[in-house]
Structure 1
């Protein structure tokens, strides 16, 4: 698979983590008929195509909520994906719902956004290149900002601090630093992240390790330098977040 990560423009950098594009070669495999996910601190909107050809048919568009569990969903066979990864704290502002309402969700974009989703899907389907499709999605998110944009600065800063520390943060100290009670901190944190602070920190730590690792040996080394005290705890989290042990996980890409 060819995988590409693209940065959003400056106006969207506090809302969108990144755009991503995945393409599979039809000469080497059958169409992907399952959509596989692992633990993810971000919410993603994904558009699936038959191929990366300019006039390729758009097969489906989905919203994948942030999740702490792996899963697989049956879908129409695809070879090409374009996705946008959204910070969870932006969900309440953009879509007027608590981030926790999207936990572990996998729903069609049209179901989630109604007529707005149908219009966005049609525009992406009519675009003829990855660049044009991302431009369509960018314009959509800019229009949402113009309608309503307010963020809980305190909780946003807390979320960003956890990400900055790769999940290795004492939650009680974080609440104290922001001069807020533990109970109120956890309630507001869950609304804007989708998780309680402890679970969110675990997922961020897991993601930071995955990003640094392209093999099992590198993965285990990264785990020890990112706060895991022993291999047993690391393997436990890895299985919980991916559904595989490390050796089987890396076989998926071979």
Structure 2
């Protein structure tokens, strides 16, 4: 019975895709859609870069972004940042991207995900499929057609094939389930392994320690609380503290680390962000 519960919870959390709120706040015509396939979920998004840069925050995920410019085709695969960073875009161009959950990101067959932390590399330079896809994405006329093209590419790389769970997947799942609040000692006991082995294997697979990842999950839970749960009410500091943090000092430290703001500044910055996260199910794969 316990095994079935774990698998069910894993399947649900496997679909968890974090938020990059600045794509919506800093750019125009931002849209996104999560497609739930049989085994994984993928977040597809698109925006018009009305400025030449924006800030990205830690999310533990890989993003693949395409500049939809027929005269300057380019694509970049980004790993998660650990602290807020500004990345550059070509102002006036449309960008299309996909975001993969942590469990899916770490299984990228064409690049070791842990080597992507705090950096990005050209997808076109990795393989001929990446270059071909970039050109097709640039020529596609709308968001829907770009999603269909990407699905074909993901299929060719076996993204939709069932994957056997390992203890890293179970660790990621448990961290997500507890919203980043489980101590590593308790995680080790749950998994049935030593803390040292979990730290070493997790860091090698994900590019960060389970403790770092837990902090990111807590911070992303905070973003979700403000953008989705708190959309129709004015949240207080107590609301944020009670969500995942011990006290105001702990909250302030974490928000400063991940967003370079005070909690009050963070609430003000994000409370006006509107993201309509459409979710659909696909039976194609």
**Could you state the TM-score of these two structures normalised by the residue count of structure 2?**
0.73
Residue 175 of structure 1 corresponds to which residue in structure 2? 188
Among residues 90, 94, 100, which one is paired with 1:76 in the alignment?
90
Mapped partners of 1:218, 1:57: distance in 2: 46
Seen in structure 2, the aligned counterparts of structure 1 residues 23 and 189 have a Cα distance that, compared at 3 Å, is same
Q: Is the 8 Å Cα contact of residues 91 and 97 (structure 1) preserved in structure 2?
A: no
- The CA deviation string for residues 184-232 of structure 1, in whole angstroms up to 9 with x for no partner, is 1111212332210111000001001101104795273442122312222
Q: Does 2:127 match 1:120? A: no
Report matched runs for 1:231-242 at 5 Å: 231-242=248-259
Shift of 1:156: 0.5
Residue 67 of structure 2 corresponds to which residue in structure 1? 48
Mapped partners of 2:269, 2:73: distance in 1: 28
Q: Is the 8 Å Cα contact of residues 107 and 113 (structure 2) preserved in structure 1?
A: no
Residue 28 of structure 1 corresponds to which residue in structure 2? none
Cα RMSD (Å) of the superposition? 2.9
Where structure 2 has 5 or more consecutive residues not aligned to the other structure, the ranges are 1-27, 274-285
**Could you state the TM-score of these two structures normalised by the residue count of structure 1?**
0.81
Higher relative contact order (CA 8 A, sep 6+): 2
Residue 227 of structure 1 corresponds to which residue in structure 2? 244
Instruction: Give the 3-state SS of the residue equivalent to 2:200 in structure 1.
Output: helix
Seen in structure 2, the aligned counterparts of structure 1 residues 186 and 219 have a Cα distance that, compared at 3 Å, is farther
- The CA deviation string for residues 86-127 of structure 1, in whole angstroms up to 9 with x for no partner, is 12333443325443211111233223x232221110111121
Mapped partners of 2:121, 2:236: distance in 1: 32
Q: Is the 8 Å Cα contact of residues 73 and 138 (structure 2) preserved in structure 1?
A: no
Mapped partners of 1:40, 1:241: distance in 2: 10
Seen in structure 2, the aligned counterparts of structure 1 residues 190 and 96 have a Cα distance that, compared at 3 Å, is farther
Mapped partners of 2:47, 2:239: distance in 1: 25
Residue 10 of structure 1 corresponds to which residue in structure 2? 37
Mapped partners of 1:251, 1:179: distance in 2: 41
Mapped partners of 1:154, 1:175: distance in 2: 10
Among residues 155, 158, 161, which one is paired with 2:168 in the alignment?
155
Paired residues, number = 240
Seen in structure 2, the aligned counterparts of structure 1 residues 251 and 7 have a Cα distance that, compared at 3 Å, is closer
Q: Is the 8 Å Cα contact of residues 70 and 241 (structure 1) preserved in structure 2?
A: yes
Q: Does 2:57 match 1:38? A: yes
Q: Does 2:199 match 1:186? A: yes
Residue 19 of structure 1 corresponds to which residue in structure 2? 44
Q: Is the 8 Å Cα contact of residues 210 and 219 (structure 1) preserved in structure 2?
A: no
Shift of 1:137: 1.1
- The CA deviation string for residues 119-173 of structure 1, in whole angstroms up to 9 with x for no partner, is 1101111211100101111111111117987555221121011112111112111
Where structure 1 has 5 or more consecutive residues not aligned to the other structure, the ranges are 25-30, 51-55
Residue 203 of structure 1 corresponds to which residue in structure 2? 216
Instruction: Give the 3-state SS of the residue equivalent to 1:225 in structure 2.
Output: helix
